[in-house]
Amino acid sequence: MNQVPPFAVVSGAQVHQALDGRENEVVAAVEAAYRLHGEGQTVNPDSYFLRFPDRPSSRIIALPASVKGDVGVHGIKWISSFPENVAAGVPRASAVLILNDAETGYPFACLESSIISAARTAASAALAAARLSEARGGRPTRVGFFGVGLIARYLHMYLAATGFDFDSIGVHDLSAEHADGFKGYLRRAEGEDCEITVHDKAEDLIRSSDLVVFATVAGEPHVSDPQWFTHNPLVLHVSLRDLSPEIILQSWNAVDDIDHCMKANTSPHLAEQRVGHRDFVAGTLHDVLTGRITPPSDRPVVFSPFGLGVLDMAVAKYVYDRVAEAGQLHTVPGFFHELKRYG
């Protein structure tokens, strides 16, 4: 007989404690989720965007998903992006995530999810960077961060934790204050041996980097010159809307899920609208992981991850299990009340 599970609330502090220092385990969980997705062991519907006529730059997104295998949960992430928060000293993104029991459908946990979202995004990018660069013959030692918010910090942290060792790091952001703050973080994280440069011009950042990481809040392409990429860098196009169709079309492209990435006016979606086909996409990260496709060394290589809810579920279940194992779950007694059909 199925039992109604107890309902727990997992705070951001608990999420951070469960993930801190376990970057490689999180990357492994994300890779396992990608493999399950590629094998058809997931359900990942389209994300739903709640937009506001009076605040066009803001949105709240619902990402429902279901994962079989060792994860074995359903759930949904509800994540907001309000860029105006930054000027007021409040983080841009906030999120919660609900995990549902696979047998009964009952929700059994609500987790703070801005950290989960940042971790799964960074783990996905680090996994892609490792596999793509290794397939091209070696890991780059010159990286450039284009956009320097929370996601950029997590991206750097996960790249470092998964074995990337940088000789030089470039930084570019529209805000000189934010660029300087990120430089300070990098100096503390990297020590004195790494060369760290703040670039005023986007072109200088890109041309001086063999690994370019886009983590902006851009709503439309703002980098449009293919000549900036003639040194054939590896590009982690995490923010999805930075590159013009011309750059996408002259690059070798991999995504996390082709159907998901070809919507909402992402750069690959704009390229598809331009040429009327998807032939410029070589395949998915799962295809890279299984050896079906191999990136070239004589073209720019761009990874554009739309961000799959199945990854959030995998990382959230990982967090839940760590907190439960530590005996630190905060349950809400009597959360489900009307459990008898006739009272």
As given in the structure block, the two tokens for residue 218 are: 């851009």
In a domain, 242, yes or no: yes
Q: Report DSSP letters for 289-308, one per residue.
A: HTTS----SSS-EEEE----
Are 27 and 123 in contact, with CB atoms under 8 Å apart?
yes
Q: Do both 160 and 98 map to the same domain? A: no
Given a contact cutoff of 8 angstroms between Cβ atoms, the answer to whether 179 and 173 are in contact is yes
Q: The tokens 């805000």 sit on which residue?
A: 175
Name residue 125's amino acid: A
Q: Which domain holds residue 131?
A: 124-304
Between CA 60 and CA 139 the distance in angstroms is 36
Does residue 63 sit in the same domain as residue 138?
no
Residue 265 and residue 130 share a domain: yes
In this structure, which amino acid lies at residue 127? Answer: L
Q: Are residues 225 and 110 located together in one domain of the fold?
A: no
* DSSP per-residue letters across 232-257: --EEEETTSSSB-HHHHHTSEEEES-
Decide if 1 is inside a domain. no
Tens of pLDDT along the chain (343 residues) come to 478 899 999 999 999 999 999 999 999 999 999 999 999 999 999 999 999 999 999 999 999 999 999 999 999 999 999 989 988 999 988 999 999 999 999 999 999 999 999 999 999 999 999 999 999 999 999 999 999 999 999 999 999 999 999 999 999 999 999 999 999 999 999 999 999 999 999 999 999 999 999 999 898 999 999 999 999 999 999 999 999 999 999 999 999 999 999 998 999 999 999 999 999 999 999 999 999 999 999 999 999 999 899 999 999 999 999 999 999 999 999 999 888 888 7
Please tell me whether residues 299 and 313 are part of one structural domain: no
